[in-house]
Chains A and B, each alone.
Chain A
Amino acid sequence: MRPKWFNAFAVAVISAVVLGACTTQQPGSGSSPTAAARQGGTFRYGQSGDAAALDPWNVTDGNSLQITEQIFESLVAYKPQTFEIVPNLADSWTTSSDKTQWTFKLHPGIKFTDGTDFDADAVVFNFDRARNTKFQYRNSKPVADDYGYYSDMWGGFDGDSIITKVEAVDKTTVRFTTKTAFGPFLANMGMGTFGLVSPKSIKDNPDGFMLPGSQGAAGTGPFMFKPGSWQKDQQITLERNPNYWRKDDKGVQLPYLDKVVIRAIPDTQSRLAELKAGTIDAMRDFTPADISAIKADPNLQLISRPSFNVGYLGINIHKAPLDKLEVRKAIAMAINKQAIADSIYAGQAKPATQFLPKGVVGYDESADFYKYSQDEAKKLLQQAGVSNVTVDLWYMPVSRPYYPEPKKIAEAFASDLAKVGITVKLQSIDWTTYRTNARKNAMDMWLLGWTGDNGDPDNWVCVFFCNTKENGSWDSATAQQAVKTMKDAATETDNAKRDQLYKQVSGLIKQDVPRIPMFNAEVPVAASKKVQGYIPHPKGSEEFTLVQISK
């Protein structure tokens, strides 16, 4: 006897499959981009991971900062879409004639969401906690990046710190003293990682206020953390700060949204499926290959983000034949960057002409980094007297904003280099080892890159070339000169002078070709058309104060 239930089951399965295959794109939940924006609502955001900790001072990764920037604010901020410094928690500032003292006048009457006052003492407390490794309320165990940004941006802790003193002059006046004049001072101050945390939150639980069981991580930002609303590695729900201190141009209290739910959806394809299914409203971190699918969906929009990164080709300049300048120049000329930008990046990238991105002090509009010419490249190789060159080219196993598809890009480089007679062997290894190897010059050539933090040129060229012992070890006489120029530029505070100094640095880099700048990639956000007012910032994360969801 054939069981009847089985026939019914088989029919059901087959019809479900056939039906599914025949179903085309559904028209979504019925919204048009022109629908009126509104106040309130929940904004659901998908990203590739959860915050490591809710302490801006202890995180450096984009996923963490995207969350902490909703809760905590810095003294100054960057204008939307640019790195122009604008007042934030500080209304104004002055600097001493020798540029070693900065005095900030704080916006009066702001409170942290735990009800305590935001004042000069709170600013002092926050900076002392990071700077002074013996500070009473510094967490006893390292968390996430362990004040990585403070160390990077301010030269280290304790005696190494460029900031030597932070003092409260009165309740709304705070003064910073630095060892020397320091060009990037204000740009650094605007970084989300220096967002101010309520001292009460920290004192109550120095080791745990930033962790999932937290009873409070209070800031002054547009949204606030409620205990119990953080399911680690799944999602965090932030609620509107009802006492937020800012209003929009029309006097409407900000933020517009009631709630923000930030979900960790590690797999890019699943994240995209969630967006298409309407279970999240916006997402980031996808590859150019996904862009056509996003554009094809009538319910979705692509919101562009000004490019602020550079993907480069690292070179071990101490290894033959890469130690020959002609060979390095030939490599720079042999690769057709424009073709790769058009194909693999789907037009979402431009060939990089220097190690500074557009919009930064020192950027040279007229610069190029050796024009593409395979004939010239071949000539240079002949001049150098090298033939049958074989080099290893390493690509990272993970997608990075500047190199979204490292393997395909490395293959394209290899194919271009083969045409001028350089044989490339492609190699890869896991990401952690990869970075260690890059530091130790354990590879011939490698892909790597950088996304800027604060719009200051020091945060670009000095990151790449101030350290002459690692990452390619550019240590020639030209390099020494470049390092000196970068140090001078960092202690200079006049932007016109800095502009000249950094252009000199770019010239020295081009002269020696210690690395080759390849692409400035755009890293857009994909969102439902219901989302309005989402303005991606070039630094890679942004607060959702102005975001609206239309019905």
Chain B
Amino acid sequence: MVRYATRRILALIPTLFGVSLVVFLMIHLIPGDPASAFLRENASAEDVARVTERLGLNKPLPQQYVDWLGRILRLDLGESLHTSLPVAGQLAAKLPATAELAITAMVIATVVGLVLGVVAGMRRNTALDFGPMALGLVGVSMPIFWLGLMAIYLFAVNLRVLPPSTRGPEPDQVRTGFYTIDYLLMGDVSGFVNAVSFLLMPSFVLATVPLAVIARQTRSAMLEVLHQDYVRTAWAKGLRERRVVLRHVMKNALLPVITVVGLQVGLLLSGAFLTETVFSWPGLATYVVAAINGRDYPVVQGTVLIFAVIFVFVNLLVDLSYAWLDPRIKYS
């Protein structure tokens, strides 16, 4: 297991190297340059040339790549071309916002998805099966930005029970960057409740697609396992439903579900971009979208690299969890 994990982590190096090259080339080779992006509509070629030189972008491309890679190896992501703020610092400030949103959404999607899936599987062909599965279909099909806007108009504009967008006020002491946790650490309960009220709508909206996928996957996995001999044996032993479901059915049905959950993390990152835009959530999405439009090379490169690392690590965790869930699977 340790050897397997080590090998996988070592395999990260060429993967990330490839990602860095692809990202670098993509952002540099698409038309448009940072200087024109920053300057106004009437900027002349001289203005563009002057700013390009000031930004150090007149060097040959391979040299720029080597320079950048050299900095990355020293764990320096560079500085934004536009604001001259360090990319690492900005990522550290914005990643928690995206992470808080994504993790909350993932918890909602997993818990609610599992419950709905298990119930639907156990009560096949009843209203408890059709209802959630129909909702799930709607959840998968609904565009996030539309759902988000509808939610804002319903809960914030009409009912006025939830704030319409953004993350709310920053806690006085930022330790984790997760506002909910920071308020709890400060012992500020009303601050915590307030932070949750800002988090509720975007996280539920973001959770819809993975929730639906997880519910459907759980249901079909349940159905498959329910017909196994050992389940019949469990029933025959006179075990109560709770015990049969939790101990015998679910544990075995969970394996394919875990795979789906892992894959959803990747989708969640892209869904977070849309959700953050609709809810003006000050996370990575707004930051990166602005950086792409502004051709802010170091910001785009740094962020994509970090995303790649996260994605690869989540996949590794998923693979490792198989061995833990199913003793028959061994990594060597």
Contacts and interface: CB of A to CB of B under 8 A. Distances in A.
Nearest to A20: B154
A102 B258 CA distance: 75
Given A6-B128, A211-B83, A23 B159 contact: yes
Given A145-B39, A439-B43, A276 B119 contact: no
A277 B158 CA distance: 8
B32 A430 contact: yes
Interface in B290-321: 290, 293-295
A1 B32 CA distance: 63
A23 B279 CA distance: 22
A296 interface: no
B47 A277 contact: no
A276 B157 contact: yes
B175 to A, nearest CB: 16
B332 interface: no
B227 to A, nearest CB: 21
A270 B155 contact: no
A456 to B, nearest CB: 14
Contacts of B295: 432
Nearest to B279: A270
Contacts of B33: 432, 436
Interface residues of A, number: 66
A232 B170 CA distance: 11
Interface string A4-29: 00100010000000011101111000
B277 interface: yes
B147 to A, nearest CB: 12
A267 interface: yes
B36 A470 contact: no
B210 interface: no
A265 interface: yes
B3 interface: no
Contact of B31 (A267, A270, A277, A436): A436
B12 interface: no
Interface stretch (A136-144, A177-185, A241-249, A517-525): A136-144
Interface of A: 1-3, 6, 10, 19-21, 23-26, 49, 52-53, 60, 139, 141-146, 148, 151-152, 207, 211-212, 231-235, 263-267, 269-271, 273-274, 276-279, 429-433, 435-437, 439, 448-450, 463-464, 467, 469-471
Give 4 closest A-B pairs by Cβ, nearest first.
Answer: A432-B32, A433-B32, A432-B37, A20-B154
Given A142-B54, A439-B48, A449-B41, 10 more contacts: A26-B158, A141-B79, A144-B38, A145-B38, A151-B50, A211-B84, A232-B85, A270-B280, A273-B153, A432-B33
28 contacts: A1-B241, A6-B119, A19-B159, A20-B158, A23-B159, A25-B158, A26-B158, A52-B82, A52-B83, A141-B79, A142-B54, A145-B38, A146-B51, A233-B287, A234-B166, A264-B282, A266-B277, A266-B286, A273-B164, A279-B156, A429-B31, A430-B293, A431-B37, A432-B37, A435-B32, A436-B36, A450-B41, A450-B42
